A and B are shown apart, each in its own frame.
Chain A
């Protein structure tokens, strides 16, 4: 009912919808319809005889409802993003189009969507309209345990960092395991505006610190897959990381848990006894390795001393292993990423590895990581796909990372700034660039959650 009321009130500028107004308008419409159909009935309608009156009534009513549904359909827009350049790789869109949003969903992406049917129109001329970004590597199980990731102060509150960078979905990289996932869900996932998905750590208590996080006896594939099946909408994969022993049981258990639930495995870091080649060999097609371009003592880098991508790394890429950036505080070096990019080892996603030690360092936020790749020579289209559709597919969440009709309205509107910029890697080395992404507007499930310059705001009148 509230809908039809809106339909009519929108047509009548003079007053707000009330029941009386509604009835009055209904009568008015019927009268107009009667006038419209009058020429087809050369005799006085109501006065001649009873059956015709009935027939007319039915006719008028159907006409009325036809018009009503037409109007309702055309006027359902809550938010209309007008004249932006839409980049929606999932739907092969890369053109100037309008995006209409209603009730938290994308309802239309087309040229010239009429503004008079929209409750709110935001002019995004000169800006890029993209699906809200997906950051597949974060640590957001924030809590008050000191110096700890799981339920601790080394993790961060996602909303503090996401929307200002166009990110609407984050995937927590195994900060919790099956034992403390419910705490994570209650404490963070259910209370954040950012959509939070998770890789479940094969370690039962997640990244709880030493020695519990390395306890092989608490890396139970049955328990892990039980949790995955209990929370299929949130848990999208399994993670292995932070194991310093040389047994392969933890890795095998993680693969087993992922196998049972048909989800990908995320291979993180701090696995010093496993060789890179062995890790890649044991991974399945569709599994993800992160910190791809790190240069640290505990793991061989993907590029050899001569600057060539190692043959077994290329082999793994061919086999369908996905490479995530996982920038973090130590996981991204130009000396590795640059030759890798030049030789075709491009990352599949721009996971930030957001945590306390990366937030203010070279990483900063996902847009900054994306801007790095812009300066390294990747096209903006290739960047956007790696921030949206590619990670969505990798975690089997094809409902996300795209702007198809009916998709949840998670949208990022970007400006491409020009100027002299610099970008720093984990080693404190800089690359210069002339362009940088800036998040102008972020929409999460149809609601504006970030508006840098007030493009959706009304002008202040004195």
Chain B
């Protein structure tokens, strides 16, 4: 009895001490790897728009709060005066770069390698917009998706061979909804987030096939509706052929002979656009080398017709033109009067919802730490559309720091680096 009591007296403190040790150990393991200190966080999903610190452990966000102590942090980065946002999602790019020199975008020279364009613009996720179809998606995966540091998702083209060339894209016999849906549902449900219909010269057949595949696979369809001569009615497209949640891209394109515009010749947004919106049709920018005109975008914005998603349509014909990168395209909208918060939302939480990837485009605790830090430059800037006309502006987004899965993948001015002569 006596000895037992004694044992209790001795063991209990030991056990408690052990517990304490374990807890300290866990805390140390929970030590913050990167602490972004003093930045202005814009996280539309969580309705955060204020000065907050962001703590990252390994590849995850662990805390977003004011004044997180720096004592537990291995690396503290002072981001005062900068905006901290979820890593951007560029919902419309072409990254199926490859060696088939006769090909257009699928495994061809018109696509680009993503990593050279993404991180320097704060982008951590891109969605390849139908460069591949079910016949060559595996090659896109092997060549680009599995190799890139950027997270690459994809819309699968309804045409089996994707964007090999305009001619092949006309083959109705190669628009197979069942095979397209099978590839998405059975093989790659995590990577393929939707279906693309584009570059078709005929009637509504291609769109209808894409929607059929979309129904089978339960994913959205994105339509580039630009090469019908004469143009097909976009009202019919929005009200009859597409489903709520489907996406119209190249929204502000001005190519009146082959593509019906959203703004009429008198500068008025067409009346059925509001109804289409009500119906749930989503509008994507898809700037590209030929699909963004001030004469469409400016009146549309003035009349309240803003895009749901802001994206680039990155490829070799847009990369050095008026488009440049997603930060530049977002800056265009900011200079047309959109708030920084609204612009960020349209490249983070909005596209994450559209492609049904709600784990992306936000800074909720537990999500993968894809983060962008921006500086809003003030000065005299110019922004060019695809017709070579310019809109002047006073603000421009510049990506200071980009973090992908907890790793710093871009640091413009070395905000995360020590001084070279530091002892």
Interface on A for B, CB 8 Å cutoff?
Answer: 142-144, 146, 151, 153, 156-157, 159-161, 163-164, 186-187, 191, 334-335, 338, 356, 359-360, 362, 364, 420-425, 427-432, 449-455, 457-462
Q: Do B147 and A159 touch across chains, with their CB atoms under 8 A apart?
A: no
Chain A's closest residue to B100 (CB) is A144
Q: A163-B320, A429-B420, A457-B388 are in contact. Are A187 and B101 (CB under 8 A)?
A: yes
Q: Do A451 and B316 touch across chains, with their CB atoms under 8 A apart?
A: no
Q: Do A425 and B420 touch across chains, with their CB atoms under 8 A apart?
A: yes
Q: A153-B147, A157-B112, A460-B298 are in contact. Are A428 and B385 (CB under 8 A)?
A: no
Give CA–CA (A457, B393) in the complex, Å: 14
Q: Do B390 and A422 touch across chains, with their CB atoms under 8 A apart?
A: no
Q: Which residues of A contact B422 (CB under 8 A)?
A: 429
Q: Which residues of B contact A421 (CB under 8 A)?
A: 413
- Near A by CB (< 8 A), chain B positions 363-405 give 380-385, 388-392
Give CA–CA (A420, B295) in the complex, Å: 37
Q: Which residues of B contact A334 (CB under 8 A)?
A: 420-421
Q: Do A187 and B99 touch across chains, with their CB atoms under 8 A apart?
A: yes
A-B contacts besides A431-B419, A454-B390, 14 pairs, CB < 8 Å: A144-B143, A151-B99, A159-B316, A160-B116, A360-B115, A420-B413, A422-B414, A424-B414, A450-B320, A451-B384, A452-B324, A453-B381, A455-B382, A462-B295
Q: Do A160 and B319 touch across chains, with their CB atoms under 8 A apart?
A: yes
| Option from B97, B267, B420 in Cβ contact (under 8 Å) with A430 | B420
Q: Which residues of B contact A161 (CB under 8 A)?
A: 116
Chain B's closest residue to A420 (CB) is B413
B417 proximal to A (CB < 8 A): yes
Q: A153-B147, A359-B115 are in contact. Are A430 and B414 (CB under 8 A)?
A: yes
- Near A by CB (< 8 A), chain B positions 112-165 give 112-113, 115-117, 119-120, 143, 147
Q: A191-B101, A360-B115, A451-B384 are in contact. Are A460 and B420 (CB under 8 A)?
A: no
B410 proximal to A (CB < 8 A): yes
B409 proximal to A (CB < 8 A): yes
B415 proximal to A (CB < 8 A): yes
Give CA–CA (A364, B320) in the complex, Å: 16
Chain B's closest residue to A453 (CB) is B382
| Option from B107, B113, B390, B413 in Cβ contact (under 8 Å) with A160 | B113
Chain A's closest residue to B383 (CB) is A454
Give CA–CA (A156, B115) in the complex, Å: 10
Q: Do B320 and A159 touch across chains, with their CB atoms under 8 A apart?
A: yes
B351 proximal to A (CB < 8 A): no
Give CA–CA (A159, B315) in the complex, Å: 11
Q: Per-position contact with A for B260-271: 1 when CB-CB < 8 Å, else 0?
A: 000000010000
B418 proximal to A (CB < 8 A): yes
Interface on B for A, CB 8 Å cutoff?
Answer: 97-99, 101, 107, 109, 112-113, 115-117, 119-120, 143, 147, 267, 294-295, 298-299, 316, 319-320, 322, 324, 380-385, 388-392, 409-415, 417-422
| Option from A335, A457, A462 in Cβ contact (under 8 Å) with B298 | A462
Q: Which residues of A contact B412 (CB under 8 A)?
A: 364, 422
Q: Do A164 and B320 touch across chains, with their CB atoms under 8 A apart?
A: yes
Q: Do A191 and B109 touch across chains, with their CB atoms under 8 A apart?
A: yes
A–B complex contacts, Cβ < 8 Å, 6 sampled: A144-B97, A159-B320, A360-B120, A420-B413, A430-B419, A457-B390
How far, in Å, is B251 (CB) from chain A's closest CB?
A: 17
Chain A's closest residue to B411 (CB) is A424
Q: Do A457 and B384 touch across chains, with their CB atoms under 8 A apart?
A: yes
Give CA–CA (A424, B410) in the complex, Å: 11
Chain A's closest residue to B115 (CB) is A360
Give CA–CA (A164, B415) in the complex, Å: 23
Chain A's closest residue to B267 (CB) is A462
| Option from A186, A356, A423 in Cβ contact (under 8 Å) with B115 | A356
Chain A's closest residue to B146 (CB) is A146
Chain B's closest residue to A151 (CB) is B99
Q: Which residues of A contact B382 (CB under 8 A)?
A: 452-455, 457
How far, in Å, is B190 (CB) from chain A's closest CB?
A: 22
Chain A's closest residue to B391 (CB) is A460
Q: Do A422 and B109 touch across chains, with their CB atoms under 8 A apart?
A: no
Q: Which residues of B contact A364 (CB under 8 A)?
A: 120, 412
Q: Do B414 and A144 touch across chains, with their CB atoms under 8 A apart?
A: no
Give CA–CA (A449, B391) in the complex, Å: 19
How far, in Å, is A129 (CB) from chain B's closest CB?
A: 18
Chain B CB count within 10 A is highest, among A156, A164, A422, A460, for A460
| Option from B147, B388, B414, B417 in Cβ contact (under 8 Å) with A458 | B388
Give CA–CA (A121, B376) in the complex, Å: 31
Q: Do B391 and A428 touch across chains, with their CB atoms under 8 A apart?
A: no
